[in-house]
Amino acid sequence: METVAPDLTATGRSARRAGLAGAGALVFLVLIAGQNVLKAALGPTNTASTADLTEFMQDRAWSVQLLVITYALGFPALFAFSAGLRAWCAAAQPRSATWAGLGQLSTVAIAVLFGLVNVIQITMIAARDVLAGSPDLAQVLWTLHNAVFTINLVAVGSALIGFGRAAASARLIPSWLGSVTAVGGVLLIASAFPAVAVVEGSPWMAVGLAGFLIWMVFLAVAGIALLRRAPQPG
The residue-averaged pLDDT of 134-145 equals 95
Q: Is 176 exposed, middle or buried (0-12, 13-18, 19+ CB in 10 A)?
A: exposed
Residues 55 and 163: their CA atoms lie apart, in Å, by 40
Q: What is the pLDDT of residues 83-123, one digit of tens each?
A: 999 999 999 999 999 999 999 999 999 999 999 999 999 99
Residues 25 and 90: their CA atoms lie apart, in Å, by 18
* Residue whose C-alpha is closest to residue 40's, from 215, 221, 212, 222: 212
The residue-averaged pLDDT of 15-38 equals 92
Residues 174 and 226: their CA atoms lie apart, in Å, by 13
Q: What is the pLDDT of residues 161-199, one digit of tens each?
A: 999 999 999 999 999 999 999 999 999 999 999 999 999
Residues 155 and 211: their CA atoms lie apart, in Å, by 12
* Residue whose C-alpha is closest to residue 70's, from 104, 121, 19: 121
* pLDDT band at residue 9 using 50, 70 and 90 as cut-offs: very low
The whole-number pLDDT of residue 1 equals 41
* Contact between residue 24 and residue 80 where contact means Cβ atoms under 8 Å apart: yes
The whole-number pLDDT of residue 191 equals 95
User: Mean pLDDT, the chain, as a whole number?
Assistant: 90
Residues 23 and 95: their CA atoms lie apart, in Å, by 25
The whole model's pTM is what?
0.90
Residues 125 and 54: their CA atoms lie apart, in Å, by 10
Residues 95 and 27: their CA atoms lie apart, in Å, by 28
The residue-averaged pLDDT of 19-41 equals 93
Is pLDDT above 60 for 234? no
Q: What is the pLDDT of residues 140-152, one digit of tens each?
A: 999 999 999 999 9
Can you tell me whether residue 230 is helix, strand or coil?
A: coil
